[in-house]
Amino acid sequence: MELKSEVADSHQNQKEEEQQQHFHVLAVDDSLIDRKLLERLLRVSSYKVTCVDSGDEALKYLGLVDELKNSSSSASSSSTSIHSPEQEGSKVNLIMTDYCMPGMSGYDLLKRVKGSSWKDVPVVIMSSENVPSRINMCLEGGAEEFLLKPVQLSDLKKLQHYLLKSLDHSFSKTVHNHDFIENDVVVDSDGNKSNENSNKNNSNISKRKAVSPELPSERRPKVEGLAVV
Amino acid sequence: MAAGVLQLQRQLTDYTASLFSEFNQLQQLQDESNPDFVVEVVYVFFEDSERLLNELAKTLDQQSIDFRKVDAHVHQLKGSSSSIGAQRVQRVCIPFRNNCEEQNIEGCLRCLQQVKQEYTLVKNKLETLFKLEQQLLAAQRSMSTI
């Protein structure tokens, strides 16, 4: 229940607006074409997208590289990580990764993520090859879904379900709801600010396909800046 | 003048329809906010494929052929052609990979020729498509300035 200065408010507003209006997907694929296509598919579906070209880059973005070195259990938001989520301004709600990549495979990345503080983030694996044993291995490894390439718009509909699920868990690293005036700002141990999730957000998400998630008419800028209960 | 535009439009529609099954998905992703999406992706595909085809020719030209490397390149080409909807290119990659597995040099060289042919075909189709689109745009523009 902090009252912040107006200047800080408007800056925070902009950041929070970006975070709050779209689910943020981290897309991992070594193929430039597939990255471009996936990025477009996700944008058309109103998701925010960050693309990286390898598992290593994905781990860096998630701030997990330091974690591995220090074997600490919390997501590292230390100063050494340039790509830490807070500095990027967005949390990751979903990871979509190609299976077959040089170096770290999608499965390797899956295991790393599931063994970290990002373990609650749904991970989807994509592959151009339909290999049942591979699919089973990934699903058993904790992947929410296995998609065959080329990924279609209709495939992305399945993903909404997992994103909604992650909201239900009041997962602190997911979308904030700015449609309510009343927001509890919670500062967790990592220094991340997040808002309590609400049902209203869910109904917005289910309409996501038909309607842009931006609902400017419902926003009330004056009150937004204040963290008020 | 209007008749010319209509004719171009019909040509374009017919041509697009003939490519429909392959590139439909790509077309769906294009809209007013990203009017150049298809062109951009396709040109990435061209560059990527040509690079891979050159690599393949080089790798297969070695004294001692690294079949794993050949296979890796074909796998990439198969993936990108599949993603973009170039099904004929993708299809030829399948026997290509089998030949790699069997370490069959002749088979690989044959497949390389086939892939090149299919790639050239699809490249021509797409370039024709883009040219038609541009002609149509130009005609429409000149009409609107009358």
Q: What is the pLDDT of residue A153?
A: 85
Give residues 40 to 79 of B whose Cβ lies within 8 Å of A: 40-41, 44-45, 48, 75-76, 78-79
Q: Is the pLDDT of residue A12 over 70?
A: no
In total, chain A counts a number of residues equal to 229
C-alpha distances (whole Å) from B65 to each of A147, A209, B113 are: 34, 50, 17
Write out pLDDT tens, residues A158-214: 888 777 776 665 544 444 444 443 444 444 444 454 444 444 444 443 333 344 444
Question: CA-CA distance, B92 to B82, in Å (whole number)?
Answer: 11
Say yes or no to pLDDT of A65 above 80.
yes
pLDDT of B16 over the 80 cut: no
Q: Residue B31: its chain A contacts at CB < 8 A?
A: 44
Residue with the bigger pLDDT between A146 and A162: it is: A146
Give the model's confidence band at B22: pLDDT under 50 very low, under 70 low, under 90 confident, else very high.
low
- CB contacts of A34 in chain B (<8 Å) are 79-80, 83
Inter-axis angle of helices B37-60 and A32-44, nearest 10: 160
Distance CA A158, CA A136 (A): 18
pLDDT, tens digit, 9 for 90 and up, residues A36-58: 999 999 998 889 999 999 999 99
Burial of B87 (0-12, 13-18, 19+ CB in 10 A): middle
Q: What's the confidence (pLDDT) of residue A74?
A: 47
Q: What is the mean pLDDT of chain A?
A: 71
- Distances from the Cα of A177 to the Cαs of A8, A21, A77, A166, A185, in angstroms? 19, 8, 23, 14, 11
ipTM over 0.85 threshold = no
- Residues of A with Cβ-Cβ distance to B80 under 8 angstroms: 31, 33-34
Long-range contacts of A77-81 (CB under 8 A, 24+ apart): A77/A190, A77/A191, A77/A192
pLDDT of residue A216: 44
Q: Do B45 and A33 touch (CB under 8 A)?
A: yes
Alpha-carbon distance of B133 to A27, in angstroms, equals: 32
- Residue B27 is predicted with a pLDDT of 74
Average pLDDT over residues B69-91: 93
Chain A: closest CA distance from residue B5 (Å): 31
Interface test with B, best of A33, A42, A129 (most B CBs within 10 A): A33
pLDDT the model gives residue A14: 58
Euclidean distance between CA atoms A84 and A60, whole angstroms: 8
For A45, nearest residue in chain B (alpha carbons)? B29
pLDDT digits (tens, 9 = 90+) for B84-135: 888 899 999 999 999 999 999 999 999 999 999 999 999 998 898 888 888 8
CB B53 within 8 A of CB B115: yes
Q: What are phi and psi of A65, to 5 degrees?
A: -70, -45
Percent of chain A's residues with pLDDT above 90: 41
> Which range, of A2-6, A70-74, B47-51, averages the lowest pLDDT?
A70-74
Cα–Cα dist B107/B121, whole Å: 21
